[in-house]
Structures are given as structure tokens and as C-alpha cells.
Amino acid sequence: MSRSIQIFIIMLTAVLTAGCVGEVEMSVGDATETDFPSGSVPGKVGDRTNPDTPETQLPPAFELIQETPQLLPFHVRMAKLSRVTGLAQDDPVFDEIWRNRYALGDHNYGQGIGPDLTWSASKMATWVKSIRPVCTSAEMQQTYPSLPEDLNALTMVAYGREVEEADLMIVEDTLAETGTGEAERYEAVCLSILSSLEFVGR
């Protein structure tokens, strides 16, 4: 269990420290039905198709500030697990998760329980424990017969992208501290992907 959390923390760190690259140039689309006044207007937006266009930013419409990672709402995490496995959410494979739903941040206002999307080590420990039946299920192994060999297929559904170097490094670290048994290695890789911040958080 502690190993799984350790994996998660490694992945969390990796995600948070991932470099952001790329430039942003904004322009806006054409109006198709407009009747605008003529005259000069303060504020301009750059048009990258025309390098001569002067560029000035409009004020941002709002700010996105997230100081700490947040978990996805419980229903989103469930939907993603369902998608990864191809199983309906009421499949017995998910029973343990449903049993722990409120510990995992689900809400029930009738009972006075609001959603709790804060990430914590204890919550992630409960998550890892709850998804073990998913990782050991026949359906999972049918869809992804061998891990890490089928890692790319898993990340394409779990992350919506192909496997990257960083993923491979994390898996490598995970396997370095895992036994040599095939089932054990499979479960370790599965847990590391399905408990990563990229999978459970935003």
C-alpha cells in the first residue's frame, strides 16, 4: 500500500514539475452576423495570420488559480474507470469503490455530505485499496493482457494520449521495487496508472 502511494507521489511530482512550453497567440474568429459601430476601439488582439497586425491583449475574462491539485469529482473517476475496463459502473468489480464512495469524496447532501475533492495521502490509500479488484479483474487483463507491455493501450484510454517517456520512467521505477511475478508486476503498473494524479485529478 505504502508503495502505491509512493508511486502516486512520484507521479504527482512528475506532473507538477512537467515543463510547460509553447507560445500563445490569440486571435478571434469572424463574426458572421454583426453590425458593429465604426471608429477606433482601444484594445486589439493579435492575428498570427497577419504579422503586421499590432498586438495588444484584451484583459483576461477571468483567472484560473489552482494552488493545490484537486481530485476529479467521484462520478468522473468512476466514469473513467468504467471506460478503462469497459465495464458498467454497477459491475461487482467496482463494489469496493462504491462502498468507500464517501471516503473517496462523493457527495450526499441528504446526509449532509458534500463533495471532498482535496487530495490527501489517506484518501489515495483508500483509492488504491478500492481499485485493486479492478486491476486484478479478468476484464482488465482481457483488455490489457500484459503490463507493462500493453502500457500504451492503457494510457490511451486512461490519459487520452499515447505513452510518453516520463510514463515509462515511472513504470520502470515502480517495477524496480516490485517482485518478479507476472501478476504482481501487472498489478503494480495498473495501480500506478489508475492512481496517478493524471488519472484521478486535475
Partner 1 sequence: MKRTLLAIALLALMGCQGKGELAMVGQSDPEPEPSTDTQDTQNSDTPTTTPEPTTIPEPQEGIQLPVSIEPPEMTGDETVFYLRRISQMLVGRTLTMEEVSQATAEGDEALRPILESWVAEAGFSTSIRYMLEQKLKASGERDGIDFDAPGRLVEHTVSNQLPMSTILKADYCIGTDGQQGDCDSGAPYNAGVLTTRAFLAGNASRFNLGRASRMMKVFACRAYPMEDDLQPRLEKESLIEMFRAQSAEEQTVEEAKDAFGNGDACYTCHGQFSAHAQFYVKFNENGQWIDEATGIQDPEGELGRSLNGLMTSHMLNDVAKADEGSDMFGKRANNLGEAAAIIADSDVFVPCMVRNVIEHTFGMTDSAGEEIDRTLLEAVAYRATNAGTTEPTMGTVVVETFIDPRVVAVVLETQNGGAQ
Count of C-beta atoms within a 10 Å radius of residue 195: 21
Q: What three-state secondary structure class fits 201? A: strand
For residue 101, report the phi and psi dihedrals to the nearest 5 degrees.
-55, -40
Query: With binding defined as CB under 8 A, does residue 48 bind partner 1?
Result: yes
Q: Nearest-CA neighbor of 197 among 134, 103, 117, 133?
A: 117
Instruction: Tell me which residue has cell 484583459.
Output: 59
Spatial separation of the C-alpha atoms in residues 125 and 135, rounded to whole Å: 15
| Closer of 109 and 138 to partner 1 (Cβ) | 109
Q: Indicate which single residue of 1, 9, 58, 121 sits in contact with partner 1 (rule: CB under 8 A).
A: 58
Angle 117-118-123 from CA coordinates, rounded to 5°: 95
Q: Indicate which single residue of 160, 164, 166, 177 sits in contact with partner 1 (rule: CB under 8 A).
A: 160
Query: With binding defined as CB under 8 A, does residue 62 bind partner 1?
Result: yes
Instruction: Tell me which residue has cell 493482457.
Output: 145
| Residue list 4-33, contact with partner 1 (CB under 8 A) | 20, 22-33
Q: Indicate which single residue of 117, 125, 132, 173 sits in contact with partner 1 (rule: CB under 8 A).
A: 117
Query: With binding defined as CB under 8 A, does residue 161 bind partner 1?
Result: yes
Report in angstroms the alpha-carbon separations of 6 from 40, 91, 141, 150, 174: 58, 29, 24, 23, 9
For residue 47, report the phi and psi dihedrals to the nearest 5 degrees.
-125, 110
Query: With binding defined as CB under 8 A, does residue 88 bind partner 1?
Result: no
Query: With binding defined as CB under 8 A, does residue 111 bind partner 1?
Result: yes
Query: With binding defined as CB under 8 A, does residue 70 bind partner 1?
Result: yes
- 147's grid cell: 503490463
Q: Indicate which single residue of 93, 158, 170, 191 sits in contact with partner 1 (rule: CB under 8 A).
A: 158
Size of the site for partner 1 (CB under 8 A): 60
Query: With binding defined as CB under 8 A, does residue 41 bind partner 1?
Result: yes
Q: Indicate which single residue of 101, 107, 129, 132 sits in contact with partner 1 (rule: CB under 8 A).
A: 107
Binding site for partner 1 (CB under 8 A): 20, 22-37, 41-45, 47-49, 57-66, 70, 72-73, 75-76, 79-80, 83, 107-111, 113-115, 117, 156-162, 202
